[in-house]
Amino acid sequence: MIAKAGTALNGHLDHRNPLVFDTHELGRRPGALQRLSRTVDAPGPPSVLGIEGVIGVPEGAPVELDLRLESVMEGVLVTGTARASAEGECVRCLEPLRLEVAADFQEMFSYPDADDRGRSTKAEPADDAEDDEDRLFIEDGLFDLEPVLRDAVVLALPMQPVCRETCAGLCSECGIRLDENPGHHHDAVDIRWAALQGLADTVQDGEKDNMGGAEAGVDEKQEK
């Protein structure tokens, strides 16, 4: 059995995971604040911080987190910024690239025993399960930042990364890098003229064959 990020084998959040944070210091006192700074290793599959095959923060790379935890009636409001270096490939010239990414995020982690107005409630079988699927909860005073971090980093990354805005890319004809060969070009041939040229070549070849046959006939007459 493989535990999900931030989750121990028994299904509960693992306080030893660097992306799991403890809120006990806030004491469920609305208005209480806590600021945290932490550097963590970027998680690997299935929680990759990036766009697969395009660009992302390599597994194990340092991610700097600056967080602000604020206690409110219904839970803990987490506001923060994640900074890391992402690696990928330029979509124009296919050269490796590296860029710094700063992802801002804000997420509410709700107390499992509080409704939207912060009042203590008991779970009812008729509660709307779909609403719970979209909410993140505090479990035994702990919350897992991994899903929030992943979504924030992915949204902060470019869908089509380029090594630089002026990158000219590759030649569509031969694949040569145009930035290194600014004068590179291919003579454009209109496909319609190319067809006529092929017909002309065929006609010329036929005329040559006919001329060769005629010359052979003349030589035979001269020999007679």
Per-residue pLDDT of the chain (224 residues; tens, 9 = 90+): 334 555 554 458 998 999 999 999 998 899 999 999 999 999 988 889 999 889 999 999 999 999 999 999 999 999 999 999 999 999 999 999 999 999 999 999 999 886 544 454 444 544 555 455 678 999 999 999 999 999 999 999 999 999 988 888 777 777 677 666 777 777 666 666 666 666 666 666 655 555 555 555 555 555 55
Counting every residue written for the chain, the total comes to 224
User: Strand 55-57 vs strand 49-51: parallel, antiparallel, or unpaired?
Assistant: antiparallel
Element at 38 (helix H, strand E): strand 33-41
Hey, what's the torsion of the CAs at 37, 15, 104, 130, to 10 degrees? -160
- Exposure letters 185-194 (e unless 16+ CB within 10 A, then b): eeeeeeeeee
SS3 1: coil
The pLDDT value given to residue 186: 76
pTM for the model: 0.70
Q: Is the separation of the CB atoms in 29 and 159 below 8 Å?
A: no
Q: So what's the pLDDT on residue 131?
A: 54
